[in-house]
Structures are given as C-alpha cells and as structure tokens.
C-alpha cells in the first residue's frame, strides 16, 4: 500500500467531511462525502447527489473522481470517504477507482464522528478486478 503522510491523510478526511455537509440525500438519508488526491497534488471533493429517478443519482466518490479527471488528471493516488458508519464505496465506485488508480491505492473509510476509521487498498476492496489493461487494444 502506498503510504500517505499524516497531513495528506487528514486533509483528505477533512475535505470529505466538508463535502458530506453538502449532500443531497433526501431518499436514502445517507449522506456521503469523499475526497481524492490526484496526480497533480490537489485534493478534489464530492458529495452524493440523489435523484427521484434513482439511477440518475451520483455517488460522492464518483463526483470527486470526475472532478479530478475533468481537470486533466488521469491518476488518483488516494481516496477518503466519510459516512455516519464508515461505509465502503459501492461496486460502481470501486470500478471507477480501478480505472484511474493502482490496486495498492489507499482507501480511507471514516465515520463522521471519528469513532471508526479503517484503511484498505483498492485491491482489497475489489479483488480479481477488471481494468484497462485487460482490454485488447490493438
């Protein structure tokens, strides 16, 4: 696993906490905040944005990743997610992470009240994954 400096780790968690406050989650009542460290050294945050047509909603992790990618980044170095119970990213978010991150990328899961904090690698969260290198791109 890539080692994060404590300052970077704390910045990621603080950014995710900040974005959690902007959550639009009237259907699940499950606010999520996320932050990603991109290859340009900047931290990008996002929150979940639900929609009455449920498939149209967006997860916080994908919002943050998409912000980083839209700014020209192609590699995510770390992710932090804050929820009320330190919940893990959904499968779709894990797959999007896989597109732009190495399998040893750290994923930090934190409860909003700080009572629980865990760290996993993307590979631990998405074993036997499928990535860009698995496609035949002749």
Predicted pLDDT of residue 1: 59
User: Nearest 5°: phi and psi at 124?
Assistant: -70, -35
What is the average per-residue pLDDT within 59-70?
A: 98
Per-residue tokens: 43: 């931290």
Q: Does domain 6-134 correspond to CATH entry 3.40.1190.20?
A: no
Specify the pTM: 0.94
DSSP SS3 for 103: coil
* Residues with a known catalytic role: 61
Measured CA to CA, the distance from residue 21 to residue 107 in angstroms comes to 20
Q: Which of 75, 67, 124 is nearest to 97 (CA)?
A: 75
Sign of CA pseudo-dihedral 105, 55, 26, 22: positive
DSSP SS3 for 77: strand
Q: Find out whether 111 and 79 touch, Cβ atoms under 8 Å.
A: no
Predicted pLDDT of residue 105: 97
Measured CA to CA, the distance from residue 89 to residue 109 in angstroms comes to 9
What mean pLDDT, rounded, does the chain reach?
95
Scanning the structure block, which residue is given the tokens 């865990």? 118
Predicted pLDDT of residue 136: 77
DSSP SS3 for 115: coil
Q: Which of 134, 63, 136, 54 is nearest to 96 (CA)?
A: 63
């Amino acid at each position: 696993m890539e080692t994060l400096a404590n300052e970077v780790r704390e910045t990621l968690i603080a950014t995710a906490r900040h974005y959690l406050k902007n959550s639009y989650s009237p259907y699940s009542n499950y606010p999520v905040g996320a932050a990603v460290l991109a290859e340009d050294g900047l931290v990008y945050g996002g929150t979940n944005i639900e929609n009455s047509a449920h498939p149209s909603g967006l997860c916080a992790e994908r919002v943050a990743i998409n912000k980083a990618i839209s700014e020209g980044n192609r590699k995510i170095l770390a992710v932090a997610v804050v929820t009320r119970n330190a919940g893990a990213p959904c499968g779709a978010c894990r797959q999007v992470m896989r597109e732009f991150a190495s399998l040893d990328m750290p994923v930090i899961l934190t409860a909003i009240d700080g009572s629980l904090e865990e760290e996993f690698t993307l590979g631990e969260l998405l074993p036997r994954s499928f990535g860009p290198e698995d496609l035949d791109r002749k």
